Amino acid sequence: MRISPRRLAAPTILLPLLLSLILSACSSGSVDSQPTIKLYPLDKLPSDVQSAPATVQQAYQFAVANPEIMTQIPCYCGCGAMGHTSNYACYVSAGQSDGSVVYDAHALGCSICVDITLDTMRLTKEGETVQQIKTYIDETYSPYGPSNMP
């Protein structure tokens, strides 16, 4: 059986076209539509944070890198009695004039603090506003205790 050159030309032209359509359909996902989040370098955090579970490490990395968000998010673990005024205070107790921070070890042992931060991180990545995140945190965590924010 002999195949004519015209029969071979059609698949040769159509195959690349079909492949490009399939690949473009597959790559049109939401990779670029989700905001990126800032994380503080783990190797610049205290050694007790570096040796903590991965979720705690991520929470510290996010909290330290995003004070503009975290200072607006409350905590519900009861840490207001310790003087904490936001979820950020569970991770950072003070900022220094040279730009360095004094870390607070409270969140190392508090799953509520870490859960609030991880939810904030997830919702930030999903594109929620700070007010939407705060509303979610208030609704989700208020049964655990009083807010540390007025």
Q: Which residues contact 15 (CB under 8 A, 6 or more apart)?
A: none
pLDDT beyond 90 at 58: yes
Write out the two tokens for 59.
């929470």
* pTM score, whole prediction: 0.76
d(CA 30, CA 126): 10
Taking the C-alpha atoms of residue 146 and residue 81, their distance in angstroms, rounded to an integer, is 10
What is the arithmetic mean of pLDDT over 8-26?
47
pLDDT digits (tens, 9 = 90+) for 107-125: 999 999 999 999 999 999 9
Q: 101: which strand partners?
A: 95
* Strand, coil or helix: 47: helix
More confident of the two residues 150 and 66: 66
Q: Return the pLDDT at 99.
A: 74
94, containing H or E segment = strand 92-95
| Dihedral Cα 35, 38, 43, 47, nearest 10 deg | -110
Segment 42-68 shows an average pLDDT of 97
The mean pLDDT of 31-45, rounded to a whole number, is 83
Both tokens of 54, joined, read 């991965």
How many Å apart are CA 134 and CA 68, to the nearest integer? 13
